[in-house]
Amino acid sequence: MIIVAFVVNLHVLRNHSEDLVNRRSEDYYIVLKTSIIRDARLGLMYVPLSETVAPNLHLEHIYREITTGAGDTLTLMSPAAKLSNKLLDIASEYKISAIRQVSHNPLNPNSVADEWEAIALNGLKDEDDRFFEKTEKNGATTYRYMAPLMMEQSCMACHSPQNVRNGELLGGISIDTEFNGTFFRQLDTLSEKLLIIYSLILFIGVFMLLFFGAKFKRREIELELKNQELLDLNVAKDKFIRVMAHDLKSSAANLKSLSETLFNNSTELSEADRNTCMEMMVESAKTHSELLDSLLDLSRSRLGNKEYDPERLDLCKLINTVLGQTKLQAAQKQIRQTNQAGECFVKADRNMITAVIRNLVVNAIKFTRTGGQVVVAVKKADTEAIISVSDNGVGISDIKKDRIFRADGSNRSAVGTANEKGTGLGLLLCKEYVEQNGGTIWFESEEGKGSTFFFTLPFKN
């Protein structure tokens, strides 16, 4: 559109320039025609001879030249010839190079129409006809104009020999406007200014198109990624629900089966068998309860219903509290727990961070062999604290590393070194809680050598 507008404006500019020339020629024509008719009605007139005014040898009149008492010679001149000479002198300042009265059969041979004028005269039918054309004449660009000159009664005195009746076409007035390089350089300068303006508009337009196009494209890509992410989350959610439903159903089925066995065969079972059966029932009920609690906590976290109450926490004291809670589990496997955290205060929710550290320590104990150790440490960074929970247990295989924090059920908990069972939801809760407190969580692990889980929390000013 900008390019089309430029071409149209350039065309309009050139047409406007030609229109100005055309209108200027029309103005001279009107002045000349009006003056000729006025003077013709006054009759022939005498003018002094000069370098530019010579006797009209083609005018037959007994008193064509006269001498005044003062000795000046005057020559008889038609109004048309007189005005043409005077107007040409004035008009030359405005690039008018020729003003001629022409016809096919003139009284003066100098008024014979040239080739272009002859064609134009042939096309003049009435007083309103005009011819205007851009041509090359004498090596210069010339705009040629032709308008009709009709016979009037007052013109008969000079033009009766031409046998033209009143109201008929006597001839035409031809006006040539010649332009040198200056005019076209000015036109080219205006064209160049137009080109610069429209180039600037085009550049801005293209820049805006590219800028907003890239922005919209980026937004479109982001939306596509979000849509794909939502689709993936829906797939993961469905898979997660199926896995959790299977685990809940399995633990409930085990509990039902054990309770039925104990109820139906209580008299036939030995005391040791009954105790074993009841221990298995307690373990199944415990697993079922832990799974339900984890699911509820995870759903509350995802829905934003989990109450978030950040406060100033002393990490060293909090870690000591957690290690006290897991002391019995560690003692059963003769695992040594160590707190290597110095004084460090962070801003976080106490219950959430307690749950994170406890889950990580319990996992470390679960996958550490008898006689191993679990170390909890804190390192200070620029604006945050980095908490780590390390063990020298079995580590994590490369196959399972990508599944650790996934919510599609593929991160199901493995059996511990002492056949401990888990829900597989602990690490998911850790990730949710850490991110809600403005931190990140990750791990490093080597199979057979142990694992270290890290998470960050912002400092409390």
Residue 359 confidence (pLDDT) above 80:
yes
Look at residue 274 and tell me if it is in a domain.
no
pLDDT value at residue 31: 77
pLDDT value at residue 378: 93
Residue 258 confidence (pLDDT) above 60:
yes
Look at residue 112 and tell me if it is in a domain.
yes
The more confidently predicted of residues 38 and 24 is 24
Look at residue 152 and tell me if it is in a domain.
yes
Cα R_g (the chain), whole angstroms = 55
Residue 417 confidence (pLDDT) above 90:
no
Look at residue 60 and tell me if it is in a domain.
yes
Average pLDDT over residues 340-355: 88
For 189-209, give one letter per residue: b (16+ CB within 10 A) or e.
eebeebeeebeeebeeeeeee
pLDDT value at residue 298: 60
**Residues in a beta bridge with 152:** none
Look at residue 352 and tell me if it is in a domain.
yes
The predicted-structure confidence for 149-184, as pLDDT tens digits, reads as follows 887 776 666 666 667 777 788 888 888 887 765 555
pLDDT value at residue 236: 56
Reported confidence tier of residue 339, pLDDT bands at 50, 70, 90: very high
Give Cα separations from 279 to 252, 307, 325 (angstroms): 15, 35, 22
pLDDT value at residue 19: 78
| This model's pTM is above 0.75 | no
Number of structural domains in the chain: 2
Among the three residues 136, 159, 179, which one is the final residue of a domain in this structure?
179
pLDDT value at residue 453: 94
The more confidently predicted of residues 45 and 381 is 381
Residue 44 confidence (pLDDT) above 80:
no
Among the three residues 160, 179, 198, which one is the final residue of a domain in this structure?
179
Region for residue 126 given its phi and psi (left: phi exceeds 0; alpha: psi -120 to 50; beta: otherwise): beta
Residue 293 confidence (pLDDT) above 70:
no
| CA 292/CA 302 separation, integer angstroms | 15
The predicted-structure confidence for 109-121, as pLDDT tens digits, reads as follows 777 888 888 888 8
Average pLDDT over residues 273-295: 73
Residue 197 confidence (pLDDT) above 80:
yes
- Specify which of 80-84, 112-116, 322-326, 369-373 reaches the highest per-range mean pLDDT: 369-373
pLDDT value at residue 123: 87
Query: 35: domain range?
Result: 2-179
% residues pLDDT > 70 (the chain): 74
pLDDT value at residue 374: 94
**For helices 315-325 and 350-366, angle between their N-to-C axes, nearest 10 degrees:** 50
pLDDT value at residue 436: 86
The predicted-structure confidence for 58-102, as pLDDT tens digits, reads as follows 666 666 778 887 878 887 666 555 555 555 555 555 566 777 888
pLDDT value at residue 245: 64
- CATH for 60: 3.30.450
Residue 232 confidence (pLDDT) above 80:
no
- CATH for 314: 3.30.565.10
Look at residue 50 and tell me if it is in a domain.
yes
* Least-confidence region, from 22-26, 156-160, 190-194: 156-160
Reported confidence tier of residue 379, pLDDT bands at 50, 70, 90: very high
The first and second tokens of residue 209, run together, are 């198109």
The more confidently predicted of residues 198 and 449 is 449
Average pLDDT over residues 29-47: 71
Q: Are residues 153 and 12 in the same domain?
A: yes
Encode the chain in three state secondary structure: CHHHHHHHHHHHHHHHHHHHHHHHHHHHHHHHHHHHHHHHHHCCEEEECCCCCCCCCCCCCCCCEEECCCCCEEEEECHHHHHHHHHHHHHHHHCEEEEEEEECCCCCHHHECCHHHHHHHHHCCCCCCCEEEEEEECCEEEEEEEEEEECCHHHHHHHHHHCCCCCCEEEEEEEEEEECHHHHHHHHHHHHHHHHHHHHHHHHHHHHHHHHHHHHHHHHHHHHHHHHHHHHHHHHHHHHHHHHHHHHHHHHHHHHHHHHHHHHCCCCCCHHHHHHHHHHHHHHHHHHHHHHHHHHHHHHHHHCCCCCCEEEEEHHHHHHHHHHHCHHHHHHCCCEEEEECCCCEEEEEHHHHHHHHHHHHHHHHHCCCCCCEEEEEEEECCCEEEEEEEECCCCCCHHHHCCCCCCCCCCCCCCCCCCCCCCCCHHHHHHHHHHHCCCCEEEEEECCCEEEEEEEEEECC
Q: Average pLDDT, whole number, for the chain?
A: 78
Among the three residues 127, 153, 179, which one is the final residue of a domain in this structure?
179
The first and second tokens of residue 86, run together, are 């005077």
Residue 387 confidence (pLDDT) above 90:
yes
